[in-house]
Amino acid sequence: MAYASASDVSSLTPHLLGSASTFDTSSSPTLAEVTAWLSTGCALINAKLASKGYDAVGTTSVVFDFVRDVNATYAAYRAERSRLSARVSKQENTRGDVFKSDFEDMLEMLTGMDLSRMGVGRSLAPPTPYSGGTSKADKEEYEADTDRIAPRFARGMFENSETQKPDTSRANEQVRDD
């Protein structure tokens, strides 16, 4: 499933179609290729959204038209890249390069938005770093989880056995100012 259609891509790349109005089995690229690129672009968009904790964008969302444009831009990039385009210099941007840059910029804009205010559901809480619990119960619960990722650091990992250790025998006593 894609957000955009082949006709959205054809509006961005009319020169690829010649006298035709849309992609078909005899166009270059073909309708099947454009459809596959739309599907790939949709998967990239959804993966990026999922990494931010959002569901796929529904057709009733305020941001749907923008997402459709992002999807069509990705397929236009791939369609342009499927046709050879000679470069005059190394720094020259071809239409494919411009579409790719536009796609990346649009995807950054999309993931920078608060999509929950635009009708996009949240399936997960946004990823947050976890450094450990604040109580013994939290620590024990965390350590009992068999599916957890092992920590990279452990208490005492970088201790120097040659140094003198502080005296902690009186650490819990209250200091009185008399």
Q: For residue 50, tell me if it sits in a domain.
A: yes
Q: Is the pTM of this model over 0.75?
A: no
d(CA 81, CA 74) in angstroms, rounded, equals 11
Positive/negative CA dihedral, 138, 139, 144, 146: positive
Query: Would residue 131 count as lying in a domain?
Result: no
The pLDDT value given to residue 173? 67
pLDDT at site 88: 62
Does some domain include residue 133? no
78 inside domain: yes
Domain-located, residue 170: no
Residue 139, in any domain of the structure: no
Would you say residue 33 lies in a domain?
A: yes
CA distance 48 to 94: 26
- Based on the structure, what is the number of domains in the chain? 1
CB 99 within 8 Å of CB 76:
yes
Find the domain containing 24 and state its range. Answer: 6-85+93-118
What are the 10-residue block averages of pLDDT along the chain, 178 residues in total?
93 89 90 95 94 91 95 95 71 80 94 87 65 71 78 79 77 63
Q: Does 49 reside within a domain?
A: yes
Q: Is 105 helix (H, G, I), strand (E, B) or coil?
A: helix
What's the confidence (pLDDT) of residue 85? Answer: 64
